[in-house]
Amino acid sequence: MMTKSKTLPLQSLYPLKWDMSLPDGFEKVLVPKYPDCFRIIKASNGIGCLKVIQWPNEYAVSELQRSKEGGDLGDEYRQFKRGQTVLAFPINFPKGYGGQKKVRVWMEEFHKLPYITPYEDSLRSK
């Protein structure tokens, strides 16, 4: 979902499989389980790639969104889901942390950024 072609080389996905919560042998598990969503294709250079064929909106929900959805938040959650509200969290620094002021200012700015799910189609987000 994060590339224009919605295609990534398998060799790029293998080192990231843990970070992306992909199972071992994901190319042999996910593609047969979700044939309407994924395909293995060969790129013009002959390298195997995973291509997203379609991405249902219900798949584009992060755990952060899901946890916000669980409460009785109503309009606040709808704004969060659309990237119109922030994802702030408490931060603390150890005593004597040298760059504390600089980092605190940066984190305050970061907290003001809208939350955008990493699973949403980036081309539709513009």
**DSSP per residue, the chain:** --STT-EEEHHHHGGGTTTTTPPTTHHHHHHHH-TTTEEEEE-TTS-EEEEE----GGG---HHHHHHHHSS-THHHHHHHTT-SB--------TT-TTHHHHHHHHHHHHTSBP--TTS-TTT--
Q: Which residue has the higher pLDDT, 18 or 68?
A: 18
| Model-wide pTM > 0.75 | no
Question: pLDDT digits over 61-91, tens only?
Answer: 766 666 666 655 455 545 555 555 556 667 7
